[in-house]
Amino acid sequence: MKILVLSDTHISGVKKMLPQRVEKELTTCQLCLHAGDFVEYSVFEKLSSFINTYGVCGNMDSEEVRKRLPLKQIISIENVNIGLIHGRGAPNSLIPYVKKEFSQHWAKIDIFIFGHSHFPLDKVVEGKIYFNPGSPTDKVFAPYNSYGVIEIKEGVIKRRIVRIG
């Protein structure tokens, strides 16, 4: 299964939906995981109209997003467990934060997807994958815009950060 991974899109009704490259990638994927900071719930609805989408709320999301989406969730795909959360705090404290938030389920989760920092990250710590796709629309605190792609086949997780521009 090919999965588009997004976070920190920060799209309001005034802005364009997503960069063209992300929209093109979307057509080749079977699932979208969004790690929060949609800003408006209409962004989740629009993504969901194209592709099966799971999302969590972030610190910059509207009241409607916070009411309708969870703070975190665990998704199982082809025997791979994915922990999805936005994140909080400074960039260097995100991995400890994610680990703490999923502490009751940490042992069974294979990959943690998060955002918040806008800075892309693909790192293995204590045998667990920590994956931040960066932001496709906002370069605050990041050297470039980006998104992620994860492919899961027979329990094997392949992942990449895609730089935009």
Delineate the domains of the chain, giving CATH numbers in brackets. Answer: 2-164 (3.60.21.10)
> Which residues lie across from 75 on neighbouring strands?
82
Report d(CA 146, CA 165) in Å as an integer.
9
pLDDT digits (tens, 9 = 90+) for 19-68: 999 999 999 999 999 999 999 999 999 999 999 999 999 999 999 999 99
**Three-point CA angle 56, 136, 154, nearest 5°:** 65
Does the pLDDT at position 14 exceed 70? Answer: no
Report d(CA 27, CA 30) in Å as an integer.
8
Does the pLDDT at position 160 exceed 70? Answer: yes
pLDDT digits (tens, 9 = 90+) for 100-121: 999 999 999 999 999 999 999 9
pLDDT digits (tens, 9 = 90+) for 68-89: 999 999 999 999 999 999 999 9
Determine the 3-state secondary structure of 74 from DSSP.
strand
Average pLDDT, the chain: 95
